[in-house]
């Protein structure tokens, strides 16, 4: 095959993958206790797709992500993942279906060692999956060097890598990332986004909430803008960045 043919085949494969829906959120109403935050939320993530949720503070971005993972009170609508209805499932069950979740901040077991943190990521398996563990170490070499260190003594950036590594231990089909750049020093933010690109390039779909909206939209395939717990705008990252109204209202001009 010539190079152009390979490229064409790649594009076609990419399109097929994107057409296949992995996560489908429809008419979702959800919140905490009796307080409703999300109204009629619609959202999809394709197989291997990289999707970002942006929006102003209090728009329900994190809530949308938590709702997918069974962490909110369900009030209506459905969440389907890879053909299975996961709407009523608790995180412990959802994780079996190939969804991984990295919460914002406080996302490592600080008194456990790095290695123990990673082992906890594969708790539902009978044995620690050595292949997956090695893959995490290859992706984040610092974690291999610091295996025996207590997670709580590591820097914010390293803890973020550990949290991602832990979620990757089960080789999920979709990784949910809640503000992965929060609290990181500015020079580490680009590095973190590069690593997320790498994870996505390896075939894992990403659904990410980010404050750093411009950078997130630049990197992702598609973005959702949430406003007051409802769908605002949706489109490719590039289109949203180019949209005058979105730029003015949500991206600070």
Partner 1 sequence: MGIADNYSRGRRLLVERPGQALAAVVGVLLVLALFADLAAKLGSGALGVGDVVLLAWRGVVNGLVIGLAGVGLSMTYSILNFANFAHGDYITGGAFVGWAVAWLVAGLGEYDIGSLLSLGLGADVYAPQLGTSIFGAPLALLLGLVAAGVGAIAIALLIDKLVYEPMRGQDGIALLIASIGVAFILRYLIVFVWGTSVTSVADEAGGLRPTVGGVTFSFGYHELTLVVCAVVLMVGVHVLLQRTKLGKAMRAMSDNQDLARVTGIPTERVIKWTWIIGAGLAGVAGYLLILEAGTIAYSRGWILLLLIFAAVILGGIGSVYGAIFGGLVIGLADSMSIIWIPSDFTKAAAFALMILILLFRPSGLFAGRTTA
Contact set with partner 1 (CB under 8 A): 69, 71, 90-92, 95-96, 101, 103, 106-112, 116, 119-121, 123-124, 166, 170
Q: Output the smallest distance, CB 225 to partner 1, in A.
A: 26
What angle (nearest 5°) sits at the alpha carbon of residue 32, between those of residues 27 and 55? 60
Nearer to partner 1, 52 or 117 (CB): 117
What angle (nearest 5°) sits at the alpha carbon of residue 140, between those of residues 138 and 145? 90
* Contact (Cβ atoms closer than 8 angstroms) between residue 214 and residue 58: no
Nearer to partner 1, 106 or 244 (CB): 106
Give the Å distances, CA to CA, from 4 to 1, 11, 87. Answer: 8, 10, 43
Q: Strands of 222-227's sheet, edge to edge?
A: 99-102, 174-178, 205-209, 50-54, 222-227, 230-236
What are the start-end ranges of the E strands in the chain?
21-32, 35-46, 50-54, 73-81, 84-85, 99-102, 174-178, 205-209, 222-227, 230-236
Sequence length of the chain is 253
Nearer to partner 1, 27 or 110 (CB): 110
Nearer to partner 1, 76 or 91 (CB): 91
Q: Output the smallest distance, CB 155 to partner 1, in A.
A: 18
Nearer to partner 1, 51 or 94 (CB): 94
What are the start-end ranges of the E strands in 92-215?
99-102, 174-178, 205-209
Q: What is the DSSP letter of 113?
A: B
Q: Output the smallest distance, CB 30 to partner 1, in A.
A: 16
Distance CA 14, CA 37 (A): 34
Nearer to partner 1, 53 or 225 (CB): 53
Q: Output the smallest distance, CB 110 to partner 1, in A.
A: 6
Q: Output the smallest distance, CB 68 to partner 1, in A.
A: 12
Nearer to partner 1, 21 or 109 (CB): 109
Q: Output the smallest distance, CB 94 to partner 1, in A.
A: 9
Q: Output the smallest distance, CB 123 to partner 1, in A.
A: 5
Distance CA 183, CA 170 (A): 26
């Amino acid at each position: 095959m010539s190079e152009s043919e390979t490229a064409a085949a790649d594009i076609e494969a990419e399109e097929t993958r994107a057409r296949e829906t992995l996560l489908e959120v429809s008419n979702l109403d959800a919140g905490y206790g009796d307080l409703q935050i999300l109204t009629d939320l619609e959202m999809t993530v394709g197989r291997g797709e990289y999707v970002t949720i942006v929006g102003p503070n209090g728009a329900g971005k994190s809530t949308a992500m938590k709702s997918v993972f069974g962490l909110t009170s369900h009030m209506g609508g459905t969440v389907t993942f890879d053909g299975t209805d996961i709407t009523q499932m608790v995180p412990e069950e959802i994780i079996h279906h190939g969804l991984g979740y990295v919460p914002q901040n406080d996302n490592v077991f600080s008194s456990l060692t790095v290695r123990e943190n990673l082992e906890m990521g594969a708790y539902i398996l009978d044995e620690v999956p050595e292949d997956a563990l090695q893959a995490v170490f290859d992706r984040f070499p610092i974690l291999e060097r610091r295996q025996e260190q207590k997670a709580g003594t590591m820097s914010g950036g390293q803890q973020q890598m550990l949290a991602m590594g832990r979620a990757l231990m089960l080789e999920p089909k979709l990784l949910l990332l809640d503000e992965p750049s929060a609290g990181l020093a500015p020079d580490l933010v680009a590095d973190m986004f590069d690593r997320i690109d790498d994870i996505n390039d390896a075939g894992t779909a990403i659904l990410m909430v980010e404050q750093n909206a411009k950078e997130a939209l630049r990197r992702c395939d598609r973005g959702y803008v949430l406003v007051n717990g409802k769908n605002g705008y949706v489109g490719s990252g590039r289109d949203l960045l180019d949209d005058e109204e979105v730029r003015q209202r949500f991206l600070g001009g």
